Amino acid sequence: MSELESHLVHERRNRPQGPSPVDLVSVQSQLAYGYAGNSAAVPVLRMLGVRVAEVPTTLFSNTPFYDTLRGRVLPADWLADLLLGLDERGVTARAPMATSGYFGSVANGEAFADWLERNHAAGTAPRYLLDPVIGDTHTGAYVEPGLEEVFVRRLLPLAWMVTPNAFELERLAGRPALLEPDALQAARSLLQRGPEWVLAHSVGGEDDDEAADRVPRLVGRDRAGRLRSPRLFVDVAGTGDVLTALMATFLLRGEPPHRAAERAVAGVHATLESTLANGWEELDVQAAPAAALAAAPARFPAVEL
C-alpha cells in the first residue's frame, strides 16, 4: 500500500495546483435505488450548478418503506474520517455552506457536531442549514432517541437555518407545533436557541382537517410568512431533502430567504406533481430545477403573517 500511495502521489506532478471550488458540503444518507438524502439532494443541486461535496452517513439499497432493506449505517469513525479529509483538502474553509440530514445513529450525529464545532472554533465553519431528520406525523420517530438531544444541545446553536417538518418542530421545541398558531410559537422558540430562520413544512391550518393543505411557514426574527400550495395526495420520501437543497441553492445565489423559500416550494410541488402523473414509487427529482427557476411572480408567493 505504501508503494502504491507513493506511486500515485509522484506520478501526478503535472496536476494543476489550484483548489477545486466547492459551494456546499452535504452530509446525509445515500441510496442505491430511489431518492432521499444525498440521493435526492445532490442531483437537484448539480442540475442547478451547485458544486457539492457529498458525504454519506448511510449506504442503503433503498428507503425503509419497502419489504427489504440492505446496506448499513456508516460507522462514526468512518464519517469522522471523511469530514477530516475535507478539512485536509481545505474544502471546509472555502465552502460557503453546509447542510445535514439523516445521520442514522447518535454516534454519527455526535461526529458531525464535533466537526462543526471544531471548525466554528477555528473560524472555518460554513453557514449551516440543519434538516433535523427525526420522523413524521404518520410514522412517528424513526431515529435513535438520543439524536434529538444532539440536535437541540449541539447543532441548533450552530445553525443559521433549520428546516423541520411539523412533527420535528414539535419534538425540538418541546411544545405543540402541528397547526399554524402553535407552529409559529414553536418556531420562534427555536430562534432563541441560535438559528436566524426556521422553515417549517407540513404544518396544518387553524383546525386539524386531514384534507387541509400542509403549508410551509418561514419564520425569522423580524418577519414570518406562509407559502400555500395545493395539497397533493402522494406520499414519497425525499421531499424535505429536496426542499433543503433548493433553499441552499438560492441562498447561495444571494436571494433573500422568502424568495428562496418560494422557489423551493415550487420545486418540491413540481416533483410531487410529476411523481403522481407518472405513477412512480420514487420522487421525480428532475422536475424540481425548472419549476424552481421559473421567473417571477412566484407560483406560491410568501404571504406575511
Instruction: Please give the Cα distance from 268 to 284 (Å, whole number).
Output: 9
**Angle, to 10 degrees, between the axis of helix 239-252 and the axis of helix 257-278?**
140
Instruction: Please give the Cα distance from 228 to 138 (Å, whole number).
Output: 21
All residues at 6 or more sequence positions from 22 whose CB lies less than 8 Å from its CB, including other chains: 51, 52, 53, 91, 94, 95
pLDDT at 17: 84
Q: Which residues of 232-259 are buried (b: 16+ CB within 10 A; e: fewer)?
A: eeeebbbbbbbbbbbbbbbbbeeeebbb
pLDDT at 2: 62
Bridge partners, 226 (sequence order): 217, 303
Q: Is residue 138 part of a domain?
A: yes
Q: Is residue 8 part of a domain?
A: no
CA distances from 164 to 82, 169, 187, 203, 211 (A): 26, 5, 9, 10, 21
Q: Is residue 15 part of a domain?
A: no
Q: Is residue 6 part of a domain?
A: no
Q: Exposed/middle/buried for 87, CB within 10 Å: 0-12, 13-18, 19+?
A: middle
CATH at 264: 3.40.1190.20
Asked if 172 and 157 touch (Cβ cutoff 8 Å), the reply is no
pLDDT at 13: 67
Can you spell out the DSSP letters for 13-73? TTS--SPPP--EEEEEEEESSS-STHHHHHHHHHHTT--EEEEEEEEESS-TTSS---EEE
Total tally of structural domains belonging to the chain = 1
pLDDT at 297: 81
Radius of gyration of the chain (CA): 19
**Angle, to 10 degrees, between the axis of helix 180-191 and the axis of helix 166-173?**
50
Q: Is residue 204 part of a domain?
A: yes
CB count within 10 Å of CB 293 equals: 15
pLDDT of the chain, 305 residues: tens digit per residue: 566 666 666 566 677 889 999 999 999 999 999 999 999 999 999 999 999 999 999 999 999 999 999 999 999 999 999 999 999 999 999 999 999 999 999 999 999 999 999 999 999 999 999 999 999 988 899 999 899 999 999 999 999 999 999 999 999 999 999 998 999 999 999 999 999 999 999 887 665 544 345 678 999 999 999 998 888 989 999 999 999 999 999 999 999 999 999 999 999 999 999 999 999 999 999 999 999 999 778 899 999 98
Q: Is residue 85 part of a domain?
A: yes
Model confidence, pTM: 0.93
Cell numbers of 150, please? 444532539
Q: Is residue 194 part of a domain?
A: yes
Domain hosting residue 251, numbered range:
21-304
Q: Is residue 133 part of a domain?
A: yes
All residues at 6 or more sequence positions from 116 whose CB lies less than 8 Å from its CB, including other chains: 98, 125, 128, 155, 158
